[in-house]
Amino acid sequence: MEIAERVLVLVHLLGFASLVGGWLVQARSPAPEVNAAMLHGAWIELVSGAGLVLLLVLGREPIAYGQLSVKLGVTLLLVLLVFANRRFSSIPRGLWVLMGLMALINAGVAVLWQ
């Protein structure tokens, strides 16, 4: 069970890296867009996060439902934004900033919320 959890955490981190990396690539672009790295990273984060929650439910440790609820809400909203805007050749700069901030907030909740 511990190995499965570690593998899922690794996959979750790779999804985050893909999402933020794809977001940062667009930083100097005059017309940012949702690229494949952002789309796949968001989906990987959602699926691996769901797997991690499943392992928590099956385990014996207490579950922080508040933290999980915030992370799930931010991740779902981020996946919806990325998915809905993937077909446009460019997105507004404010939406691009929002997507990046949501990814960083999601990581912040995971790391800083005790």
Query: pTM surpassing 0.75?
Result: yes
Amino acid letter for position 109: V
User: How is residue 86 annotated by DSSP?
Assistant: T
Q: pLDDT (tens digit, 9 = 90+) per residue, 51-105?
A: 999 999 999 888 899 999 999 999 999 999 999 999 999 999 999 999 999 999 9
Residue 19: which residues within 8 A CB-CB, separation 6 or more?
37, 38, 41, 42, 45, 78, 82, 103
